[in-house]
Amino acid sequence: MTTLALVQRFDARSNCFPSVHVSVATLTALHGTLIAVSCVLTKQHYLIDLPAGLLCGWLSFVLYLRLL
């Protein structure tokens, strides 16, 4: 039996709506957006810093995945 099959076997059938996984991912993305906007509005960074920061974060994630 695979791990997924084991999880599905013990998982309650009634917990499918709403998806807490999706709501937490959405909340996390919105927080990231608010942090980025606040950095500009509080004049801590310039607008060009935001895509550069996103690129650095993405490249760090890709590097992490390759080192696994």
Q: What is the pLDDT of residue 8?
A: 81
pLDDT digits (tens, 9 = 90+) for 8-60: 888 777 767 788 889 999 999 999 999 999 999 999 999 999 999 999 999 99
- pLDDT tops 80 at residue 67: yes
- pLDDT tops 80 at residue 6: yes
Residue type present at position 18: P
Q: What is the pLDDT of residue 11?
A: 77
Phi, psi for 17 (deg, rounded to 5)? -140, 130
**Could you tell me which of 54, 22, 31 has the C-alpha nearest to residue 62?**
54
- pLDDT tops 80 at residue 1: no
- Cis preceding-peptide flag for 51 (omega within 30 of 0): no
Phi, psi for 35 (deg, rounded to 5)? -65, -45
